[in-house]
C-alpha cells in the first residue's frame, strides 16, 4: 500500500470558502481527506521581497495592515466544521516573512503558543502537525516545534538548522536517502516540491504526481488554494488537473489518502520503518 497526504497551504480568516469548496468538493465526494495548513492570526500586510502582497492576500483580500484571527471568521469556521473531510494543520503564526527563521527561542515559542491559542478560541482542535511558512525553520524553532508537535511537514532539511543531537539520525537518513525520519519525538516529513503548482506544465503535472507516488511509499502533495484564483480570475485548466488528481487517487486500489492526524499518534497506518532506520 502507498500513502498520500494532500497538503493545501495558506488558509486563513479571510480565505473565501467558495474557493475551497470549488477546489475540494470532488475530494469530499470521494471521501478523500484534505489537509489545510491554517494561518492562526494572518497579517494582512505581509509582502514578498519584491514588495507585492503575498498570493493569499491579493485583491479582494488585501487591505489595511492588521492581524485577523481564525477565531474571528464565523463563515470560515462554519464551513470547516461542516466538512469533516478536512484536517487542519498549524501553519506559522501570522505568516510574516521567514518568521520561524528566528534564532530567538522565546520568539519562536511565543508564536507557537499564541498560534495554538487562536485555534482554541475558534473552537478547533489544536493541530499536532506544524508547517513553517516558506519551509524555513531555525535550530531554535526546530527545538520549540519538537516540544509542542508530533509531526513537522516541510520541504527539506539542512544539517546546520537541526539540533546537534539529531545529527546522527540525519546522517543515516541522508545515507539511506529516506524522505521521512524521526528525531526528538518528532516525525519529520519532506515533500518532492509543489507538484500541484501553476509554475509547472499542466500537461505533465498528473504524470509527475504518478511518478512521485511510485517512488516512495508515503508522498506529501503540496498545493496552495490561491494559485487557482490568481489575479482575480479563475484558472480552470489548473483546477481540472486538481480534479483529475482526485479521480486518479480514488481509482488506485493500492493508494490510501491520509489525514496528517493519523501520523500524530504512537501508532500510524504507515509502517514505522518509513520514519525510523532499523
Q: Reply yes or no on whether the pLDDT at 154 is more than 80.
A: yes
Average confidence (pLDDT) over 156-163: 95
Give residue 117's pLDDT.
98
* Cβ neighbours for 44, distance < 8 A, ≥ 6 positions apart: 14, 57, 61, 62, 63, 64, 65, 66, 67, 68
* Tens digit of each residue's pLDDT (9 = 90 or more) over 107-135: 999 999 999 999 999 999 999 999 999 99
Q: What residues have CB less than 8 Å from 261, skipping those under 6 apart?
A: 87, 127, 128, 129
Instruction: Quote the percentage of the chain above a pLDDT of 90.
Output: 84
Say if residues 169 and 188 touch (Cβ distance below 8 Å). Answer: no
pLDDT tens sequence across 49-102: 787 888 899 776 766 788 999 999 999 999 999 999 999 999 999 999 899 999
DSSP string of the chain?
A: -EEEEEEEEEE-TT--HHHHHHHHHHHHHTT--EEEEE-TEEETT-B-TTSPBPGGG-TTS--SS-EEEGGG-HHHHHHHHH-TTEEEEEE-SS--TTTT--S-HHHHHHHHHHHHHHHHHTT-PPPSEEE-GGG---HHHHHHHHHH-SEEE-S---GGGS-GGGHHHHHHHHHTT-SEEEETTEEEE--SS-SS-TTS-HHHHHHHHHHHHHH-SEEEEEEEGGGGGGGGS--HHHHHHHHHHHHHHHH-TTEEEE-GGGGSSSS-SS-GGGTS--
* Structural domains for the chain: 2-274 (3.20.110.20)
What mean pLDDT is reported for the chain?
94
Q: Which residues of 99-132 are buried (b: 16+ CB within 10 A; e: fewer)?
A: bbbbeeeebbbebbeebbebbeebebeebbbbbb
- What's the rounded Cα separation, in Å, for the pair 57 and 226? 9
Confidence of residue 167 (pLDDT cuts 50, 70, 90): very high
Which residues contact residue 106 at a Cβ distance below 8 angstroms, ignoring those fewer than 6 apart? none
State the Cα–Cα distance between residues 43 and 41, nearest whole angstrom.
Answer: 7
Which of 71, 50, 62 is CA-nearest to residue 115? 71
In tens, the pLDDT along 243-272 reads 999 999 999 999 999 999 999 987 788 876
Instruction: Give the residue carrying C-alpha cell 491554517.
Output: 38
- Average pLDDT of the segment spanning 162-166: 96
The answer on pLDDT for 275 being more than 80 is: no
pLDDT of residue 272: 65
Query: Is 162 a residue whose pLDDT tops 60?
Result: yes
pLDDT at residue number 54: 87
pLDDT at position 65 = 81
pLDDT interval class at 276 (50, 70, 90): low
The whole-model pTM stands at 0.95
Q: What is the mean pLDDT of residues 14-25?
A: 97
**Mean pLDDT over residues 221-227, rounded?**
98
Amino acid at each position: 500500500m502507498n500513502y498520500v497526504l494532500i497538503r493545501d497551504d495558506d488558509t486563513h480568516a479571510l480565505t473565501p470558502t467558495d474557493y475551497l469548496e470549488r477546489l475540494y468538493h470532488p475530494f469530499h465526494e470521494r471521501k478523500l481527506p484534505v489537509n489545510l495548513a491554517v494561518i492562526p492570526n494572518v497579517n494582512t500586510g505581509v509582502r514578498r521581497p519584491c514588495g507585492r502582497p503575498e498570493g493569499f492576500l491579493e485583491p479582494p483580500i488585501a487591505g489595511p495592515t492588521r492581524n485577523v484571527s481564525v477565531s474571528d471568521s464565523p463563515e470560515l469556521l462554519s464551513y470547516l466544521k461542516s466538512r469533516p473531510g478536512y484536517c487542519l494543520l498549524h501553519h506559522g503564526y501570522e505568516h510574516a516573512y521567514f518568521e520561524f527563521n528566528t534564532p530567538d527561542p522565546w520568539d519562536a515559542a511565543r508564536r507557537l503558543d499564541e498560534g495554538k491559542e487562536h485555534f482554541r478560541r475558534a473552537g478547533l482542535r489544536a493541530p499536532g502537525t506544524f508547517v513553517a511558512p516558506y519551509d524555513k525553520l531555525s535550530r531554535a524553532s526546530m527545538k520549540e516545534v519538537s516540544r509542542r508537535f508530533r509531526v513537522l511537514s516541510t520541504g527539506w532539511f539542512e544539517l546546520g538548522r537541526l539540533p546537534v543531537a539529531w545529527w546522527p539520525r540525519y546522517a543515516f537518513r541522508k545515507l539511506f536517502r529516506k524522505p521521512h525520519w524521526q528525531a526528538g519525538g518528532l516525525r519529520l516529513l519532506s515533500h518532492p516540491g509543489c507538484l500541484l503548482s501553476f509554475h509547472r506544465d499542466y500537461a505533465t503535472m498528473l504524470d509527475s504526481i504518478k511518478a512521485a507516488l511510485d517512488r516512495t511509499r508515503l508522498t506529501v502533495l503540496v498545493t496552495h488554494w490561491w494559485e487557482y484564483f490568481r489575479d482575480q480570475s479563475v484558472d480552470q485548466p489548473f483546477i481540472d488537473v486538481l480534479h483529475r488528481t482526485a479521480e486518479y487517487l480514488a481509482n488506485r486500489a493500492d493508494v490510501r489518502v491520509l489525514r496528517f492526524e493519523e501520523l500524530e499518534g504512537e501508532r500510524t497506518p504507515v509502517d514505522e520503518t518509513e520514519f525510523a532506520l532499523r
